[in-house]
Amino acid sequence: MGFPDLEKQLEVIKRGAVEILSEVELRKKLQDSLTTGTPLVIKAGFDPTAPDIHLGHTVLLRKLRQFQDLGHRVIFLIGDFTARIGDPSGRSEKRKQLTQEEVAQNAGTYKKQVSRILDLEKLTVVFNSEWFEAMSVLDILELTTHATVSQMLGRADFKKRMSKYEDISLLEFMYPLLQGYDSVKLEADVELGGTDQIFNLLVGRDIQRDFSQAQQVVITMPLLEGTDGVQKMSKSYGNYIGIDEPASSIFGKIMSLSDERMYKYFELLTDEDLAVVRAMHPKEAKVRLAKAIINQYYSSDDAEKEAKEFQRVFSQKEIPESMPEYRVQPNENVFSALVNSGLVKSGNEARRLIKEGAVSFNETKISTDNFIFTQGGVVKVGSRRFLRIVI
């Protein structure tokens, strides 16, 4: 299959990108690819720190799909080894280390989920444990000669933690070196990452040079803020929208976004015309966004169904047709039911919501967390969470 011409490829690649280091190098690599008919090797790494791929990940995944459509070879690297360390990028504290079993369980769901975006027939999936577990201690220590302590301490996130006298483990220093060595093993021509990954990506360029390889071009993509509108979307922060969540959950979370956040989601997660979107009423635009995303990961029928259900429940104040069900034990109170059913995240949240009058049962507000269920019915929390109580 032939490649599109150079300028067309650059137009597609640059769309939405924050930075390309460097565009001159990228042009040369693309021109060499066109001349020889050899696809570029495009790398992006994902640490399986939780089982769900979320919309924040899809900013990169959509760019990878564009590279696939341009005819290049995309490598989806699952960092099953590096996930046991934890990437310190953008962190204000040490990450919790995962066990090998936790990492393996999370990684097992990734391929199925990315198939909703990437063409699996054109995708190479690799695990970095393949080479790291075969390396000796001496091999690993040799990697440390490719970076200096002063270079590591120049990282913005490490500087911030040091200014607060917070600990930085030597293990965290190793993470950028290991990620960089991934690029050596894969002989990557281009590596994609979020803007918070720039340090790690540039270390990859340095290590490739030390191993006498052509340096990869680094392309950074914007970070997508989560549903809280503050932190980047992250499984660790609990503010994410997973692409494997039920369509109803995705729809509801998108409808809760602020108008400002909505427009950024349009730009990074869809191909919609932003001028058209901004001319719409914000609520109408938000429904359009939710439908567009559900259409990507489910179907147009599911998108229409959830739009109608949202209209019925939240505009017409009706009860949803389907909701989680919880069977209460004898004399179990509402506080226990909210927490044990998972409808709220913690006991503190349950108490706060009850105190604020945000919890009702069969359309009657509950004023105490000692309320006992004597009959079945529906608990409503806020305007979007429902729980069917079964005695």
In a domain, 24, yes or no: yes
CA-atom Rg of the chain in angstroms: 24
Q: Say if CB 188 and CB 75 are below 8 A apart.
A: yes
Whether 268 and 373 map to the same domain: the answer is: no
Do 300 and 330 share a structural domain? Answer: no
| pLDDT tens digits for range 242-297 | 888 889 889 888 988 888 889 989 988 998 888 899 999 988 999 999 999 999 99
Both 53 and 183 in one domain: the answer is yes
Nearest partner of 366 among 376, 378, 357, 377, judged by Cα: 357
If one compares 390 and 70, the residue with the highest pLDDT of the two is 70
88 vs 32 pLDDT, higher one: 32
Backbone angles phi, psi at 145, to 5 degrees: -75, -10
| Same domain, yes or no: 72 and 130 | yes
Q: 124, 152, 134, 103: which is closest to 44 by C-alpha?
A: 124
Q: Which uninterrupted H or E stretch holds 346?
A: none
* Number of structural domains in the chain: 3
DSSP string computed for 126-145: EETHHHHTTS-HHHHHHHGG
Q: What's the token pair of residue 1?
A: 């299959």
pLDDT at 93: 46
* Domain endpoint, select from 315, 342, 372: 315
Residue 355 parent element (H or E): helix 347-355
Alpha carbon distance 314, 383 (integer Å): 7
Same domain, 83 and 149: yes
Interatomic CA distance for residues 245 and 54, integer angstroms = 9
In a domain, 239, yes or no: no
Contact residues for 42 (Cβ-Cβ < 8 A; gap 6+):
64, 67, 72, 73, 74, 75, 188, 189, 190, 191, 192
Q: Following DSSP, what letter does each residue of 299-341 receive, concatenated?
A: -HHHHHHHHHHHIIIIIS-PPPS---EEEPPTT-BHHHHHHHT
Beta carbons of 301 and 312 less than 8 angstroms apart = no
Model pLDDT, residue 316: 59
Do 286 and 193 reside in the same domain of the chain?
Answer: no
Q: At 283, which amino acid appears?
A: K
The structure tokens listed for 56 are 């924040």
- Asked whether residue 136 is assigned to any structural domain, the reply reads yes
**pLDDT for residue 256:** 83
Looking at the fold, whether 199 and 310 belong to one and the same domain comes out as no
Q: Say yes or no: 254 and 385 in one domain.
A: no
Q: What are phi and psi of 389, to 5 degrees?
A: -95, 130
Cα–Cα distance for residue pair 75/208, rounded to 1 Å: 17
Residue 109 sits in the same domain as residue 88: yes
Residue 184 lies in a domain: yes
Query: CA dist 98 to 53, 61, 106, 111, 389, Å?
Result: 17, 24, 10, 20, 36
Closest CA to 237 of 245, 225, 222, 252: 225
Pair (340, 289) in one structural domain: no
Residue 56 within any structural domain of the chain: yes
Per-residue pLDDT of 185-232, as tens digits, reads: 999 999 999 998 898 899 999 999 999 999 999 999 999 998 888 888
Is residue 204, in this structure, part of any structural domain at all? Answer: yes
335 compared with 95, residue with greater pLDDT? 335
pLDDT in the model for residue 69 = 94
pLDDT more than 90, % of the chain: 43
The boundaries of the domain holding residue 189 are 6-221
pLDDT at 121 over 80: yes
Are residues 126 and 74 part of one domain? yes
Is 369 a member of any domain? yes
**Tokens linked to 83:** 């996930």
- In-domain check, residue 165: yes
What pLDDT is stored for residue 86 in this prediction? Answer: 58
Residue 257's pLDDT is 87
**Beta strand segments in 209-327, E:** 217-221, 325-327
Kindly report the CATH number assigned to the domain that includes residue 378.
Answer: 3.10.290.10
Last residue of a domain, one of 221, 237, 260: 221
Is there a single domain that holds both residue 84 and residue 141?
yes
Does the pLDDT at position 313 exceed 90? no
- Widest CA span in the chain: 76
Looking at 186, 221, 256, the residue that finishes a domain is 221
